Amino acid sequence: MLTKALSSVLVVITLAGCSPSGASDQVDPAGSGTAGAAGIGDPDFPADGNGGYDVSHYALTLGYDPQSRHLAGTATIDATATQNLSSFNLDLHAFTVSSVTVGGHPAAFTRSGDEMTVTAGLAGGTPFQTVVTYQGEPKPVRDSPNLGTYGFVPTKDGSFVTAEPNGAKTWFPANDHPADKATYDFRLTVPDGVTAIANGELAGQPTSAGGKTTFVWRETHPMTTYLATMTTGNFLVKTGDSEGGIPIYAAVDPRYQSQLNRLYEVSGRITDYWVSVFGPYPFKSTGGVVDDFPSGYALENQTKPIYGGFEPDEGIISHELAHQWFGDSVSISRWKDLWLNEGFATYAEWLWSEHQGQGTAQQIFDRHYLNANDPMWNYPPGAAQKGDLFNNSVYTRGAMALHALRKRVGDDTFFKLIRQWASDHRYGNATTEQFIALAEKTSGQKLGDLFNPWLFEKGRPQTAT
């Protein structure tokens, strides 16, 4: 599923009816196709994602052996051509590819860096299925000091898979950019005793044969590639329902055994609270995973945030679960809009604090505002910079921008706007311009004098609060 913002530049030509009888519908009979672009069109990340097609579904059948660190399997990718194609690209990092088929026929492919080019003549507008068989040792992306190490990271008992911004390609061939969301099936086979955790819900009990166990997970709601996970290892699991009736899946590495009940309970309670603030929960289940991992960070993996190497407190749980609405259900279509994810999730932490009778959002805002020398004043959050994507400004100043908006338009309008935003773009993609337009429409006010200094200009904005 491709976002409008990026797909509007693509011309869709349908050649239906032009196929000579007997030829596959998927083949471009005129041979007029051109190569799909090697990037989806995000100016900050020109190699990420690909042009010329739109993925609707990934079916990943993968086996992983934590001992040998060997991953092997097949990725079946359902997509629709958005132009006449002579070839198209997939993003894939490392691995040996043994075969590619398109529409059931063997297809030639070449690889260069993280780009795999598949030769296939496809008429614009036609759906096609690509099957990639591959194997090898996953290599995470190492981009220090900017983004660190991310993607498929082997651990001593399995794998820790958190892939923002573009690490999905370290474990499956993908259109690896958030502008192209898709649904997923995961069929994950691991040695008996190992638990394999992915997004969505388990389709039945795991099955065991020949010393191996297979876990089938389904994410039936569109998801960005970076939110997909196959986190594996020794886990203690607790499942049930929140008081509000949302199924919960909580899992912890045995090292964090004492955290399982708390993770389960707090994740359910906070998900229920966000429903009352942000509107209906977008997915079928909630939860969280705490893994034993050297560096402590967390990612908002769809339906199951993953916390690595620390005991998550309510602040970070409230952050990652707010992302289920802002980032996961409503996704960005280009990385410079990242404040729409991180500013919202950080503001949610302040709302949780306020709800708990701890510091109010106003008090937290004031504390940050008073720090006149904070480096975030030199970094406007509304256009995140690729060399420093996760700058604190995108989080804290982004949250402050939302608080300034709340003060300006009042609580009723602000929370109505936030719920409308979550509902208008549910399961889709959206931009900062669209948020500003909705804020102006909902409030009936021109808000350029607020958004410009808070989001787009250097320097500490004036504030009435």
**Which residues form the interface with ligand TRP (CB under 6 A)?**
150, 162, 164, 297-300, 319-320, 342, 390
Contacts of 239 (CB under 8 A, 6+ apart): 247, 248, 249, 250
Alpha carbons 233 and 201: distance in angstroms, whole number: 18
Among residues 322, 320, 323, which one has the least CA distance to residue 331? 323
Backbone angles phi, psi at 90, to 5 degrees: -125, 150
Contacts by residues 45-48 (CB-CB < 8 Å, ≥ 24 positions apart): 45/165, 45/166, 45/177, 45/335, 45/386, 47/91, 47/113, 47/114, 47/115, 48/91, 48/165, 48/166, 48/176, 48/177
In the bound complex, what is the minimum distance in angstroms from residue 347's beta carbon to ligand TRP? 13
Give the residue nearest to Zn ion (CB).
345
In the bound complex, what is the minimum distance in angstroms from residue 105's beta carbon to Zn ion? 43
Nearer Cβ to Zn ion (235/307): 307
Query: Given the rule CB under 5 A, which of 222-230, 271-279, 345-353, 362-370 is the region that contacts Zn ion?
Result: 345-353
Which of Zn ion, ligand TRP, none binds 390 (CB below 5-8 Å, type-dependent)?
A: ligand TRP
Angle at 459 between CA 458 and CA 461, to 5 degrees: 115
Residue 141 structure tokens: 């992306």
Which of ligand TRP, Zn ion, none binds 28 (CB below 5-8 Å, type-dependent)?
A: none
Nearer Cβ to ligand TRP (262/319): 319
Which of Zn ion, ligand TRP, none binds 91 (CB below 5-8 Å, type-dependent)?
A: none
Contacts of 329 (CB under 8 A, 6+ apart): 221, 282, 283, 422, 425, 426, 427
Residue 290 structure tokens: 């705490």
In the bound complex, what is the minimum distance in angstroms from residue 441's beta carbon to ligand TRP? 29
HSE-CB at 217 with a 13 A cutoff on CA atoms is: 29
Indicate the pairing of strand 236-241 with strand 247-252: antiparallel
In the bound complex, what is the minimum distance in angstroms from residue 160's beta carbon to ligand TRP? 9
In the bound complex, what is the minimum distance in angstroms from residue 344's beta carbon to Zn ion? 9
Nearer Cβ to Zn ion (185/342): 342
Nearer Cβ to ligand TRP (168/430): 168
Query: Given the rule CB under 5 A, which of 28-36, 164-172, 343-351, 397-405 is the region that contacts Zn ion?
Result: 343-351
Alpha carbons 331 and 343: distance in angstroms, whole number: 13
Which of Zn ion, ligand TRP, none binds 195 (CB below 5-8 Å, type-dependent)?
A: none
Which of Zn ion, ligand TRP, none binds 150 (CB below 5-8 Å, type-dependent)?
A: ligand TRP
Biggest distance spanned by C-alpha atoms of the chain: 73
Which of Zn ion, ligand TRP, none binds 456 (CB below 5-8 Å, type-dependent)?
A: none
Q: Does 345 bind Zn ion (CB under 5 A)?
A: yes
Query: Given the rule CB under 5 A, which of 137-145, 263-271, 342-350, 456-464 is the region that contacts Zn ion?
Result: 342-350
Which of ligand TRP, Zn ion, none binds 122 (CB below 5-8 Å, type-dependent)?
A: none
Query: Given the rule CB under 5 A, which of 22-30, 232-240, 251-259, 341-349 is the region that contacts Zn ion?
Result: 341-349
In the bound complex, what is the minimum distance in angstroms from residue 164's beta carbon to ligand TRP? 4
Burial-class residue 144 by CB neighbours within 10 Å (0-12, 13-18, 19+).
exposed
What is the contact surface with Zn ion in residues (CB under 5 A)?
Answer: 342, 345
